[in-house]
Structure formats: C-alpha cells, structure tokens
A = this chain, B = another copy of it.
Amino acid sequence: MKTIGIGLAGFGTVGAGVYENLERHRDLIAERSGYGFAVRRIIARDPKKQRDVDAPSTLFSSRWQDLLDDPEIRVVVELIGGTKDAFDLTVAAIRSGRIVVTGNKALLAERGAEIFALACEHRVPVFFEAAVAGGIPIIQSLRDAFVGNRIESIHGILNGTSNYILTRMQEAGLDYPEALAEAVKLGYAEADPTLDINGWDAAHKAIIMAALAYGFWVDPVSIRVQGIDRVGAADIHFARSLGYSIKLLGSIRANNGRVEVGVAPTLIPLGHVLASVNGVFNAVAIRGDLVGESLFYGRGAGRGPTSTSVIGDLVEAAHVLGAPRGTYGFSSHGLYGRSCPADEIIGSHYLRLSVDDKPGVLAKIAGLLGEAGIGISSVVQPESIAGVETPLVLMIHEAAFGRMRETVERIRALECVKGDPVLFNVETFS
C-alpha cells in the first residue's frame, strides 16, 4: 500500500480534527481507499501551544514555506484561514504541483477566479468540500452527481451560528442579544461572531456554490448581503403568526441568463422542509432541470463534520494521484462481517388487534406479553372505526423481534382475538 504525504497548514479545531481522525480511522480509510495518508508537517502559528490533540513536536513548524521543501508532501491541506498567507500558500502549492485541499470559504469567494485559473494552468486539482456546509457533501454533489443537470436554483441555510440564534429566538422566545450571548457561551459562535451574523460567511459559501453551478465568480461587492442583527423577537412572532419561519437564507437562482445571488433573513413557509432546519444544522436545497428538488441536511461546522469533508477530499486526491478505486468502497474494516438475524433485532413495536368487546381481554393479552418479558408502554382502545370492529392498539417497549413475533402468534391464537394481528416497528432514532 502506498502512502501519500500530507502537509497540514493550520492546527485549530478542524486541522487538529483532520490529524486526529486520520490516525483514529487509519485502517478504515486505508481499506476503503487503498491508500495510506501520513501527515509529514504541521504549520501552526505557535508550535509550542498546548493542544487537546497530540502530534509529535517534530512535525510542527511556524513557516508555511516549510511544507513546500518536503518533496514527499503531495497534498497541502490549507486550514489556516484568512486570505493573505492562505492565498500565498495555495498559489505556491499549486505552482509546485501539489494538490490543494482547502476549507477556506473567504479565500475562494474572494480569489477563487485566480486560484482556479492557476490550478487549470498547472493541471493541479483544488478540492474544497470543507469550505461549504461542513459535513454535507454539497460540492461533490453539485460537481459530480448533478454534472448532467442545469441548476435552476440553490437555497441554503449556510451558517450554523445564525441558525442557532434564530432557532433559539423562535423556540425559547429569546431576544437577539440573549440568543447571541447563549451561542457564544456554548461555543457555537466565535468570540468575534461578526462574519457569522453579518451574513458574509453564508455569502462566501453562496458565491462558491454559484461558481460551481454557473461557471463564473460573482463579484462579492455586487450582491446583497444582510445579516440577522435586525431580526427582533417581534419579527419572529409576526412571521410565525403569518405562517412563516425566519431563516438566514442564501439564495442562488438562474433567471433569464443571469444569476441572482444574495443572503438575507427570509421568511420561509412553515410547511417547507427548510423551515424545520434548526439549531446549528445546515441544509441546502438544489433544483436541477433533470433531478428536480433535492435537499441535503447535516452539520455545517465543527471538528468531526468538517474533518469528514477534508478526509473525503484527501481520498479524492489519492485517486487523482493514481490510487486504484481499491475495493470500490466495499470494506469490512475488520469491525463487521455478519448481519444480525432478524429475530434478534431489538426494537419497539406497534401492535393492533381486533378483539371481542368483553371484560378480561386486555388482561389475557397483557398476560402473554408479560410471560414473554415484554413490556407495554401504552394501550389505546379507540372508538371503533370503519373496518376495524373493536380495535386494541398497544405500543410495546423494546423487545427482540423473534420473541415479539412468537408472542403475537400466541395472542392470535386467543379466542378473543379476531383476524390477523398487525405488527409494525416504532423508530425513535434515539
């Protein structure tokens, strides 16, 4: 198995997460991708700083130029943020033939045209899944999966901090300053949350998606970007009474040969799925001329989700560098290899019976369930409705399906039970 050398610029939340998760899931990633990944150097402003993720001190350096001195480094992961050093590093890496993986939305939104022109010239790919919506594979979907579609529109909840604040205003009735303070306290907002709440973080992401969908870079100064600081508790209240939820929405729409791009607080009908995207979650709705409506939902920030996207890009870089498609993604990674027999799967159940309308019926049924060690969480004996003579509905606590099935057979054999019992699953996703 070949190993690909990586230079990691930036060791904050995401950079340290990439390092940690490449280590933790080394075998899994190797088996799935056919390649190993070795971080050969880490750039950090203060290499001596105490961190929650350990890496050998010999890997650290404070000069990004050091990444380019090591010919074994084939991929540069740019996670330092900002648009100055990050730009210089990206350009230098491309010129030296390194593949670049970046999560830097501001850099791409402001200087994407230059960066990708240079990348094309040098035939070096730049991957940037982590730059938009953290762990949601929206870049890959737009670029690869929907390659045969004309994109009609993209609407996205693209900033988790703003969405958390708006959600708390809506659900807990907080006013804007209270919700912002809570977000800062819980670590969902930076100490300086300016770019999150003024809409520009979302705007950078919208500009990147628009570029991918429409092939040109929208000038950031030409678009409307409105943050959430004018959203008051009163607006949340009025919007709701009119049937809407207020979200910070990035909107991209093709209209008569021009592309409309903007970010603003937006009233969304409560019935639309984007209205239900709450807390720090992000979501992107894409309409394509062939595929119709699609929606992608997930965590838009944080160590795990964002390093998921960086690692996905690293594996794509490996494919470009000549990795085989290996086992085509089918990999047991030593953890699994057998399925659980259906009868041994434990779950909650819904059981509907038709019964005689006589005293003692429930006692008999509950008795059989009790003998099998199966608990009842609730019983509903609704009014008879058309087609069901005397219905009895039981919600059943967790039990192995096989035991449940056998017990239902015994219940069916009771004289007071008519016809075939109906047994479905209950899934609470807990």
Query: Which A residues form the contact surface with B (CB < 8 A)?
Result: 21-22, 25, 28-29, 31-33, 116, 119-120, 123, 125-126, 129, 135-137, 140-150, 155, 175, 210-212, 214-216, 218-219, 222-224, 226, 230-235, 237-239, 241-242, 244, 246, 249, 251, 254-255, 257-262, 264-269, 272-273, 276, 281, 285, 288-299, 302, 304-305, 307-309, 311-312, 315-316, 319-320, 324-325, 327-333, 335-342, 345, 350, 352, 378, 380, 382, 385-388, 391, 393, 395, 401, 420, 422, 424-429
Quick one: which of B265, B285, B299, B304 contacts A424, CB cutoff 8 A?
A: B265
Q: A332 near B148 (CB under 8 angstroms)? A: no
Quick one: which of B288, B338, B378 contacts A258, CB cutoff 8 A?
A: B338
CA of A290 to CA of B305 in the docked complex: distance in angstroms?
A: 6
Residues of B within 8 A of A145 (CB): 129, 137, 140, 308-309, 312
Report the nearest B residue to A140, measured CB to CB. B145
Cβ contacts A to B, 20 pairs, < 8 Å: A25-B148, A33-B147, A140-B140, A145-B309, A147-B329, A149-B308, A214-B337, A216-B336, A224-B345, A251-B425, A254-B335, A254-B336, A259-B338, A260-B339, A265-B424, A265-B425, A266-B424, A290-B307, A291-B305, A293-B298
Q: B216 near A338 (CB under 8 angstroms)? A: yes
Quick one: which of B119, B123, B308 contacts A146, CB cutoff 8 A?
A: B308
Q: Which residue, A32, A155, A261, A272, has most C-beta atoms of chain B within 10 A?
A: A32
User: Nearest Cβ in chain B — how far from A391, in angstroms?
Assistant: 6
Q: B146 near A312 (CB under 8 angstroms)? A: yes
Residues of B within 8 A of A119 (CB): 328
